Amino acid sequence: MNYSRKYLNQNVEVKIDRPLGSLHPRHDLIYPLNYGFVPNTLAPDGEELDAYVLGVFDPIEEFEGKCIAIIHRTNDNDDKLIVTAQNKNYTDEQIIALTEFQERFFKSEIIRKKI
């Protein structure tokens, strides 16, 4: 998990590969928010580091914002960054509710501090 913590409270660029309203490529799942990855990163699952973009209500192709939290999956090796506009903040409960459409399939915790 330490690979993702360096992004906490940092500005990150997110390339959106699953825009709001899009269908998951392998599962019967529609994305109610923009979801993508941080280019040129590598997570333990062998893919680029994933990110949920909160607070943008239209489909987008890319986004630059602040990483306010990390969803650390305790039964998977695929952390997710929570990225928002600079002046936005969300509680842990709001993050859980907004990402529940996908995260309900995993056990996880919200990380907010670097160690």
Give the CATH number for residue 61: 3.90.80.10
Q: Which domain holds residue 15?
A: 2-111
For the entire predicted model, the pTM comes to 0.93
- CA dist 55 and 35 (Å) reads 12
- Report residue 62's pLDDT band, with 50, 70 and 90 as the boundaries: very high
What pLDDT does residue 3 have? Answer: 78
Higher per-residue confidence, 97 vs 42? 97
What pLDDT does residue 43 have? Answer: 85
Q: Give me the sign of the Cα torsion angle 25, 29, 15, 81.
A: negative
The count of structural domains within the chain is: 1
- Report residue 114's pLDDT band, with 50, 70 and 90 as the boundaries: low
Length of the chain: 115
